[in-house]
Amino acid sequence: MQRYRADVSEQDLLSAFDNAPVGMAVLTPSGVVTACNAAMGRLLDRAPDELVGGTFFDVTHADDLEGARRECALMQVEGARIVRHECRFVLPGDRIIWVSVSTSRVPETLDRPAHLIMHIEDVSDRKRIEAELSHRALHDPLTGLANRTLLAERLRESLGRRGRHTRLGHLFYLDLNGFKTVNDRFGHAVGDAVLTQLAARIVALLRVGDIAARLGGDEFAVFCEDTEPHQALAIARRLRMAAADPFVVDGSTITISAAVGCCATEHTDAAALIREADRRMYEGKRRRPLRGHLRRRPW
């Protein structure tokens, strides 16, 4: 059973509203702001009076507006008592924050019309941490490229979209020749620098929508959607050239090479596609063994 203190005055309630540590607002059933507290003004970097008469849709990021309207429509269409969603607000100066919005519907009474009460809290720090954790889970920490998990996810998405008239994509698997010698002679720090430089070269070759991944050690992969076979041959050649171009690290010129395997995304799943590209890479390496070499720049 709910209990209410009879000795709480209307002034006490107004003080609680005005001094609440989170943003609070009272709105009409259609979403027009009729009152908001000081915390809401600080959150949105506006005077509270400036917000009265408008709606929070006015400050919602354009990419989140449809979802915010859909959530709030539940109040009207389904009569939901409480609706929660997260979205981005755009502040003065085009600054963006993530907020958690909780809206409760208060039904009409004899002495008060129906209205909405909204609580808004800044969750930008949590969103940033979540984004960082998600990025770490799906990207290689050294090069910043996608990892095997993200590559497989992208392959599954692509295979799921394929239709009768969709052109095939191609997956390229790269394995470096002579890289162990780099680590043995110059140390792992120099080896890491070579991998990082190579990753940047690979990214520079990609089109919008392509993805490059580091699969571990000195193995990389590139997936290009909507690619003709002759284009795939050209991409494989450019990838080999990217690896063959000398790397300069700490005064040393390091030359290696790469074996590249390629297969089309036809009638297979993501894991099988990666295995097939890997197999073709090693098959090509056996047919035409390549060795990297090192030389120190004379100074």
- What are the residues facing 260 on neighbouring strands? 174
User: Is the predicted pLDDT of residue 290 greater than 60, yes or no?
Assistant: no
Q: What is the pLDDT of residue 6?
A: 54
In a domain, 4, yes or no: no
> Comparing 61 with 178, which gets the higher pLDDT?
61
Q: What is the pLDDT of residue 255?
A: 93
Going by pLDDT thresholds of 50, 70 and 90, the confidence category of residue 134 is very high
175 with 266, same domain: the answer is: yes
Q: What is the pLDDT of residue 293?
A: 44
Per-residue pLDDT tens over the stretch 47-58:
999 999 999 999
Mean pLDDT of the chain: 87
Which CATH number does the domain housing residue 88 bear? 3.30.450.20
191 with 238, same domain: the answer is: yes
Going by pLDDT thresholds of 50, 70 and 90, the confidence category of residue 45 is very high
What distance in Å separates the CA atoms of residue 152 and residue 78, rounded to the nearest whole number?
A: 40
Q: What is the pLDDT of residue 292?
A: 42
Q: Which of 140, 175, 210, 218 is catalytic?
A: 218
What pTM was computed for the model?
0.72
120 with 205, same domain: the answer is: no
158 with 290, same domain: the answer is: yes
Per-residue pLDDT tens over the stretch 96-129:
999 999 999 888 887 888 889 999 999 999 999 9
218 has catalytic annotation: yes
Which CATH number does the domain housing residue 249 bear? 3.30.70.270
Note down the domain range covering 167: 139-296
Q: What is the pLDDT of residue 109?
A: 83
144 with 112, same domain: the answer is: no
> Comparing 79 with 65, which gets the higher pLDDT?
65
Number of domains present in the structure of the chain? 2
118 with 146, same domain: the answer is: no
In a domain, 219, yes or no: yes
User: Is the predicted pLDDT of residue 234 greater than 70, yes or no?
Assistant: yes
